[in-house]
Amino acid sequence: MLIFNKLEYGDYQTPLNFCEKVVNIIQKEVNPSIILEPTFGIGNFIKATNQKFDRVKKIYGIEINKEYFEKVQDITSKFIGYNENIFEFNHKNIINNIDKNDELLIIGNPPWITNSQLMMKELANLPKKNNFKKLKGFESITGASNFDICEYIILDLLNQYSDINASIAMLCKTSVVTNIIKEINKYKFKISNIKMYLFDAKKVFGVNCEACLFFAKIDNICEKTVDVYNIENPNDLIYKFGWKQNKFYSNFEMIDSNVDGKFPIEWRQGIKHDCSKIMELRLINNKYFNGLKEEVEVESNLVYPLLKSSDLKKNYIDKSDKFVIVTQNKVKQDTTYIAEDSPKLWNYLNKNKEKLDSRKSSIYNNAPAFSIFGIGDYSFYKYKVAISGFYKKPNFVVLSSNEKSIMLDDTCYFIGFEKEKDAIITMTLLNSQKVQDFLYSIAFLDKKRPYTKEVLMRIDLPKIIEDTNFCTFQSMLNQYNIEKTITEDDYREYKNIFIN
């Protein structure tokens, strides 16, 4: 008997009535003669398309689960099935049987799971590792290379059938569509008539995420904008997103070209260490404790205050009860110096060497013992402006320290300053309504991390400074109750730095 691991296959079966709703919507767009359901599961899309489309000659289906595969055989005599893994399937088996006068509809609900989720569970149903997004360097071996299996399948299908008269209609997370359109220039396929119909994934699948029906026509011209609807009101356009004048926006209605540009300072990501139970400490009654609740006796010279996304709620922070061990001043620095400078810390790290050596990310391969990433000269500024990458509402925060620099974890982004007043002015300007509205026009709030370096680097700080006089700035600053005085001369000096 087959033991079927639903997690391994990202198995969310689509209810028949919802399949019928999807088909009713796309009936207005296509009238196919051939159907392909690439991961057909219990076959509800096969049933729905067989019932609704009257000129269908063949319905192809691919399904790895033999139990599901066998249950679908009797739905219709038009069905031609393959009990195979979609990641290994040879699509020429179908393409070679499609006539030039045929119209193909690729429809379905691919697995809603990421490669990292599968890898963490040590499951096997993964596509071959080929860096299919063509990421470079550090991105290709860190979180940026994590991808949705559904996205992989949709992209593969669009590439495989790029020369066929075809349309695609797939249920997926909205972030999958965002990623595809954002990177549309990378791919050989071209698509047009791109639409996204939002629906309640909790109601349909019991899953908490932003989801949609993605529809597009494979074409010889490439459109780069998406019309967004709600699946319950499929004729009422909500908004558009995509590419406009070579820039990517999440909502065309909120575009403000006066703010769109390039930030004059490089935004940085916080420290990445992937071993919080060992590397992060709490100070309780003047004693350090690690995440295992063990008391830790170490020298304090390499122990720095730490803030995480959940800590960035106030707009001015000058202390923390969290701490992090900073083993390096720059990436790849030799760490053996710790043995002489901080022997207690060196002993602590060696005591936990097995845990630190077992960190799964490949960035630690061939790196010095106890390495961290996201570290450099920029990390040690005493004054910073930081933002959480996770929260839906962008909130910029001043970090101020008269002693050791306050560090951030890798869920946060920051810029550093020599003077506290410059950090305060920057925080105030970035929290202005103008910047907030602009960020909403370029960030996708359905993503786990809406605010990334790429998003933040598009803020044109000099333009914002130029458009904000001191009086306006002062009224904005007053709302934060920061007991620091910024004079008009301070503001003029700041202005001269970034504009001249």
Q: What does the DSSP 8-state code read for residue 406?
A: P
Question: Which residues have C-beta within 8 Å of that of residue 60, sequence separation ≥ 6?
Answer: 34, 35, 36, 37, 80, 81, 82, 94
Q: What is the mean pLDDT of residues 25-43?
A: 95
C-alpha distances in angstroms, 1 versus 70, 73, 123? Answer: 13, 19, 19
The pLDDT of residue 109 is above 50:
yes
d(CA 47, CA 16): 8
The pLDDT of residue 119 is above 70:
no
320-348 as b/e, with b when 16 or more CB fall inside 10 Å?
bebbbbbbbeeeeeebeebeeebeebbeb
**pLDDT number for residue 71:** 86
**pLDDT number for residue 4:** 37
Beta pairing, strands 210-218 & 166-173: antiparallel
Query: Is the four-CA dihedral 327, 331, 335, 337 of positive or negative sign?
Result: negative
Query: What digits encode the pLDDT tens for the residues 323-375?
Result: 999 999 999 999 999 999 999 999 999 999 999 999 989 899 999 999 999 99
Binning pLDDT at 50, 70 and 90, where does residue 133 land? low
User: H-helix or E-strand containing 227?
Assistant: strand 225-230
d(CA 468, CA 491): 10
Binning pLDDT at 50, 70 and 90, where does residue 128 land? low
**pLDDT number for residue 147:** 60
Amino acid (1-letter code) at residue 419: K
C-alpha distances in angstroms, 313 versus 136, 309, 394, 432? Answer: 34, 8, 10, 16
Binning pLDDT at 50, 70 and 90, where does residue 13 land? confident
The pLDDT of residue 382 is above 70:
yes
Q: What pairs with residue 271 in β-bridges? A: 409
Query: What digits encode the pLDDT tens for the residues 301-317?
Result: 999 999 999 999 999 99
**pLDDT number for residue 74:** 84
Query: What digits encode the pLDDT tens for the residues 447-471?
Result: 889 999 999 999 999 999 999 999 9
The pLDDT of residue 136 is above 70:
no
The pLDDT of residue 1 is above 80:
no
H-type alpha helices, 53-200: 66-72, 92-95, 115-120, 149-160, 174-182
User: H-helix or E-strand containing 249?
Assistant: strand 247-249
Binning pLDDT at 50, 70 and 90, where does residue 146 land? low
Cβ distance 59 to 49 under 8 Å?
yes
The pLDDT of residue 416 is above 90:
yes
Task: Give the DSSP letter string of 62-103.
Answer: E-S-HHHHHHHTTS-TTEEEE-S-TTT--THHHHTT--TT--
**pLDDT number for residue 258:** 79
Query: What digits encode the pLDDT tens for the residues 184-193?
Result: 999 999 999 9
The pLDDT of residue 433 is above 70:
yes
Query: What digits encode the pLDDT tens for the residues 39-53?
Result: 999 999 999 999 999
Residues for the chain: how many in total? 500
**pLDDT number for residue 349:** 98
Domains (ranges, CATH) in the chain? Answer: 16-244 (3.40.50.150), 268-499 (no CATH)
Cβ distance 43 to 71 under 8 Å?
yes
Binning pLDDT at 50, 70 and 90, where does residue 5 land? very low
Task: Give the DSSP letter string of 280-305.
Answer: EEEEETTEEEETTS-EE---STTEEE
The pLDDT of residue 130 is above 60:
no
Q: What is the mean pLDDT of residues 210-222?
A: 96
More reliable by pLDDT, 493 or 253: 493
416-446 as b/e, with b when 16 or more CB fall inside 10 Å?
bbeebbbbbbbbbbbbbebbeebbbbbbbeb
List the helix and strand counts (H, then E) for the chain: 18, 21
Beta pairing, strands 191-200 & 166-173: unpaired
Cβ distance 10 to 113 under 8 Å?
yes
**pLDDT number for residue 3:** 33
**pLDDT number for residue 112:** 85
173-211 as b/e, with b when 16 or more CB fall inside 10 Å?
bbbbbbbbbbebeeeebbbeebbbbbbebeebbeeeebb
Cβ distance 7 to 149 under 8 Å?
no
Indicate the average pLDDT of the chain.
90
Cβ distance 467 to 461 under 8 Å?
no
Rounded to 5 degrees, φ, ψ at 51 are -75, -35
The pLDDT of residue 138 is above 60:
no
Q: What is the mean pLDDT of residues 274-289?
A: 96
Percent of the chain with pLDDT over 70: 91
Residue 487 CB neighbours (<10 A)? 11
Q: What pairs with residue 323 in β-bridges? A: 281, 305
**pLDDT number for residue 191:** 98
**pLDDT number for residue 446:** 85
The pLDDT of residue 256 is above 80:
no
Q: What is the mean pLDDT of residues 91-104?
A: 95
Binning pLDDT at 50, 70 and 90, where does residue 12 land? low
**pLDDT number for residue 135:** 45
Q: What is the mean pLDDT of residues 437-455?
A: 92
Percent of the chain with pLDDT over 90: 83
